[in-house]
Structure 1
């Protein structure tokens, strides 16, 4: 039997339009994309080409979508893609990407063309939510004909240079609210039982089941371990229900699941997962861990 505590829907019955509308009515803006993200993007305009690659129109709100592109972009140079905020509530993904852009991107000038997309899902950022207003998870929607405009816009941005992307790192978090809100909501939305799980304490990575790169993942883990702690396996040898294949590393089928990290054929791909609710990590440390992961990923790709 589905856990009865989620306040929307009928246990065992997937949501329809009425339930989605009831869920949407509960959402409230809790922070400002313009004040916290776009102001930082504006400060970086003297160092990057700022590209508006779309706009989300969720009446009464509209959200311009921006990417930071290396100056002197060249089609004969390998590219690196850095994405954050695919799940808008995962704060260090957004601010870790911006931190990397501000403090470290210049180190790669002339060696890699950078496309940094700091906040793929600004509606979710403002409401500290995983989904978009249609109760869709953008990070399960990266596929042709995507129903999620956030995902479709990013894929359209990347398509012209996808074949030369050498490394893609997608910045995420695993939070306590995954267990208290988002997983129960997902079960309710889909009419499935909710099975309680656990939240790993620490940083981990998601490699690609279909094209694993264990040495690459290990290099990123080593770099991040100098900034914050790495999540251990649980009593079953797993992290969030997936076998741990190396310290701090699990694997998903990135493309078949519609995950952001699967949108190119880059040989080096990973998804970071920071744990911001740990008593052993501060927000600053989480942002620094994301930036360290980006640097390690790019360095490895350049060296190999």
Structure 2
């Protein structure tokens, strides 16, 4: 299939001019302050809240916050939860905040909870996968990262001085992945866009090098109480990858620079909610993210 994206020349990677053209198409569509920061501030009496960074695009507008359970104890396992690495993936942000508000204190006796609910606030406001430099933060979790979003959260987590036992990264797969973001990616990189199918339902992305099959199963079984699990396509794949088990595919997370791979955790997963399904509501999408965290933590408690 030909690359027919509106910016760039087919077969040629973007330069500064094309990236500038792309940025000029982007606009603010919602308020990070009103929709996210106010919810973070409402947690201040129950958690430690720290501003760990701010994006240089607009320091005052885009502070980045980390939230930790009170009385961190290095003898407890530490659970890292990240949301909004792709800012447009709304339930990742609000699912993380809903977990903190409604269920987190059921687990603080057993775990240190460390949460970055909205890693990419500019992406949240502009409903975008990339940052203003047309860089995907979720392919940028490595040393000398080109993404401020990724770099800042990595430095914050490292500075806590805690060994991350489990990392749960909350994401979505949306219809705009196929209608906008993947075609834009192909154009940016001078490649042909190959159309795929957006899975209708929830799925997980585990780590090829450490699949933790039973851990992923426990999450899927908890989430299926809230929403439907994505079926495989006619080739037995989800987004081009073969199923490891129902609702689970695996990626080499470190090699790809994915957020879920940067901590050397023992248990890691990336959730993928499908908010465009006619079968779900926004609340159910948030609840699916909460269920994923709950399923992960209950599994970890069961194997102590």
Given the two structures, how large is their TM-score scaled by the length of structure 1?
Answer: 0.97
Q: State the secondary structure of the residue aligned to 2:62.
A: strand
Do the aligned residues in 2 keep the contact of 1:167 with 1:301 (CA within 8 Å)? no
The residue aligned with 1:261 is: 260
The residue aligned with 1:198 is: 197
The residue aligned with 1:11 is: 10
Do the aligned residues in 2 keep the contact of 1:2 with 1:12 (CA within 8 Å)? no
Do the aligned residues in 2 keep the contact of 1:9 with 1:188 (CA within 8 Å)? yes
| Matches of 1:188 and 1:249, distance apart in 2 | 29
Q: 1:162 to 1:285 in 2, by over 3 A?
A: farther
The residue aligned with 2:247 is: 248
The residue aligned with 1:35 is: 34
Q: State whether structure 2 residue 143 is matched by structure 1 residue 166.
A: no
**Residues 32-67 of structure 1, C-alpha deviation per residue, up to 9 Å, x if partnerless?**
000000000010001000011111010486411001
Do the aligned residues in 1 keep the contact of 2:78 with 2:162 (CA within 8 Å)? no
Q: Residue 232 of structure 1: CA displacement?
A: 0.3
The residue aligned with 2:124 is: 125
**Residues 64-90 of structure 1, C-alpha deviation per residue, up to 9 Å, x if partnerless?**
100111110122221000000000000
Gaps of 5+ in 1: none
Gaps of 5+ in 2: none
The residue aligned with 1:143 is: 142
Q: 1:60 to 1:9 in 2, by over 3 A?
A: farther
The residue aligned with 2:217 is: 218
Q: Residue 302 of structure 1: CA displacement?
A: 2.6
Q: Residue 160 of structure 1: CA displacement?
A: 3.5
Q: What's the RMSD between the two structures over aligned residues? A: 1.2
Do the aligned residues in 2 keep the contact of 1:47 with 1:71 (CA within 8 Å)? yes
Q: 1:220 to 1:162 in 2, by over 3 A?
A: farther
Q: State the secondary structure of the residue aligned to 2:211.
A: coil
Q: Residue 162 of structure 1: CA displacement?
A: 6.6
The residue aligned with 1:2 is: 2
| Matches of 1:2 and 1:158, distance apart in 2 | 42
Do the aligned residues in 2 keep the contact of 1:163 with 1:265 (CA within 8 Å)? no
Report which stretch shifted further, 172-181 or 51-60. 51-60
Given the two structures, how large is their TM-score scaled by the length of structure 2?
Answer: 0.97
Provide the aligned length of Structure 1 versus Structure 2.
303
Report which stretch shifted further, 52-61 or 21-30. 52-61
Q: State whether structure 2 residue 93 is matched by structure 1 residue 94.
A: yes
Q: State the secondary structure of the residue aligned to 1:67.
A: strand
Do the aligned residues in 2 keep the contact of 1:179 with 1:196 (CA within 8 Å)? yes
The equivalences for 1:97-108 within 5 A come to 97-108=96-107
Q: State the secondary structure of the residue aligned to 2:55.
A: strand
